Amino acid sequence: MTNTSPATKADTSKLETESRNATKAQLAEFWYYFSQNKGAVVGLVVFALLVLTAIFAPLLAPHDPDFQYRDSFLVPPFWEEGGKAAFLLGTDAVGRDILSRLIFGARLSLLVGVMVVTIALTGGIVVGVVAGYMRGAVDTFIMRIMDIILAFPSLLLALVLVAILGPGLINAMIAIAIVLQPHFVRLTRAAVLTERSRDYVVAAKVAGAGHMRLMFKTILPNCLAPLIVQATLSFSNAILDAAALGFLGMGAQPPTPEWGTMLAEAREFILRAWWVVTFPGLAILITVLAINLVGDGLRDALDPKLKRS
């Protein structure tokens, strides 16, 4: 064996570029398959706009979302008769600008999505990996608990949890996360079960990897594809559930400009002022649709079965 280090011969920086190129190629391939799905690209654009709106809400919103214009209750959108150019999408029953409230509402909805998915995903992954890796009694115990959670209608369970924890956006998020968690647990466990008997896991074991390393460093990265897809779909689910809880008065409390809460406040004006219900409803619809489309595209790009055909 030679004693000269090949690292000195081969330029270290060259190695790093090579390594970066490999990562880039991986991303390029991912993007190729993702962009094949036109709907997903549209969804991604819409979602990106939504994120930008949320970030720059104070700059974009024409009015303070909580300020009540006493002289303009239930002003219709600007193109309707009696509409004012100052309130593009009209005002609600206490004279707040609907557009501004929707723009600020985007922040809450995205916050709900991110928080809920983070909590549910982290918990679900840890519990699912442990169940799938350990098998036996641990597995049975965990999965039976998850089955019990899944046996409740999800919104009902969320309602019960909120009732226990007390109404409010934070508690609603926790409740929704708990309700969504079993899906992640199941998915993770299934993926871990198929991966754990693969040769590369055995090889890592022979190399001396401990349980923790095997579970989270060797197996987990190979189970992420279905989880990412599920996470996007849960993101939209969380927004829907939060809106539903808001609508039922158990989520965000007035005057928070949360889309579901806005719907709830507008309930009594459905017949008189269509705009107070339509626009928050549309906002929810578009957001959820966009995210679902992105999830669909992710599935196309990440599912190895579709890819290698």
Partner 1 sequence: MSLLEIRNLRVEFDTAKGPFRALDGVDYAVDAGEVLAIVGESGSGKSVAMLATMGLLPDSATITADKMEFEGLDLRTLTTKERRKVIGRDISMIFQEPIASLNPCFTVGFQLGETLKTHTELKGRQIKDRVVELLTSVGIPDPSGRLNAFPHQMSGGQCQRVMIAMAIACSPKLLIADEPTTALDVTIQKQILDLLVRLQQDSGMGLIMITHDMGVVAETADRVIVQYKGRKMEEADVLSLFENPQNPYTKALLSALPENATGDRLPTVSDFAEAGGF
Partner 2 sequence: MSDDVILKVRDVYRTYDIKGGMFKKASRLTAVKGVSLDVERGSTLAVVGESGCGKSTLARMLTMIDAQTSGTIEIDGLPIDISKTGISKEMRQKVQIVFQNPYGSLNPRQKIGHVLEEPLLLNTDMPAAERRDLALQMLEKVGLQPEHYGRYPHMFSGGQRQRIAIARAIMMKPKLLVLDEPVSALDLSVQAQILNLLADLQEEMNLTYVFISHDLSVVRYIADKVMVMYFGEVVEYGTRDEVFDNPQHDYTKTLFAATPRADVDSIRKRLAARAA
Q: Under the rule (CB under 8 A), what is the footprint of partner 1?
A: 29, 32-33, 309
Give the Cβ contact number of residue 145 at 10 Å. Answer: 14
Interface with partner 2, residue 211, by CB under 8 A: no
CB of 199 to partner 2, least distance (A): 4
CB of 303 to partner 2, least distance (A): 14
Interface with partner 2, residue 205, by CB under 8 A: yes
CB of 44 to partner 2, least distance (A): 24
Single out the segment in contact with partner 2 by CB under 8 A; choices: 16-24, 129-137, 174-182, 282-290. 16-24
Interface with partner 2, residue 19, by CB under 8 A: yes
Interface with partner 2, residue 222, by CB under 8 A: yes
Q: Is the alpha carbon torsion for 251, 253, 256, 257 positive or negative?
A: positive
Single out the segment in contact with partner 2 by CB under 8 A; choices: 22-30, 40-48, 81-89, 163-171. 22-30
Q: Which amino acid is at 119?
A: I
Single out the segment in contact with partner 2 by CB under 8 A; choices: 12-20, 37-45, 96-104, 228-236. 12-20
**Rounded distance between C-alpha atoms, residue 79 and residue 88, angstroms:** 8
Which of 79, 136, 144, 208 forms a contact with partner 2 (CB under 8 A)? Answer: 208
Contact string (CB under 8 A) for partner 2, positions 174-203, x = contact: ------------------------xxx-xx
Interface with partner 2, residue 226, by CB under 8 A: no
In sequence order, the β-bridge partners of residue 91 are 97
CB of 5 to partner 2, least distance (A): 4
* Phi, psi of 42, deg, nearest 5: -60, -45
**Rounded distance between C-alpha atoms, residue 183 and residue 141, angstroms:** 16
Helix, strand, coil shares of the chain, percent, nearest 5, are 75, 0, 25
Residue 134 site contact among partner 1, partner 2, none (CB < 5 to 8 Å, cut-off depends on kind)? none
Task: Please report which helix (H) or strand (E) contains residue 265, including its range.
Answer: helix 259-266
CB of 307 to partner 1, least distance (A): 9
Which of 137, 151, 164, 206 forms a contact with partner 2 (CB under 8 A)? Answer: 206
Instruction: Give CA angle at 164 (163, 169), nearest 5°.
Output: 60
Buried b (16+ CB within 10 A) or exposed e, 14-52: eeeeeeeeeeeeeeeeeeebbeebeebeebbebbeebee
Total number of residues shown for the chain: 309
Omega before 254 within 30 of 0, i.e. cis: no
Interface with partner 2, residue 81, by CB under 8 A: no
Interface with partner 2, residue 13, by CB under 8 A: no
In sequence order, the β-bridge partners of residue 97 are 91
Interface with partner 2, residue 32, by CB under 8 A: no
Nearer to partner 1, 11 or 29 (CB): 29
Count interface residues toward partner 2 (CB under 8 A). 33
**Rounded distance between C-alpha atoms, residue 132 and residue 118, angstroms:** 21
CB of 308 to partner 1, least distance (A): 10
**Rounded distance between C-alpha atoms, residue 61 and residue 96, angstroms:** 12
Binding site for partner 2 (CB under 8 A): 1-2, 5-7, 9-10, 14-16, 18-22, 25-26, 198-200, 202-210, 213, 218, 221-222
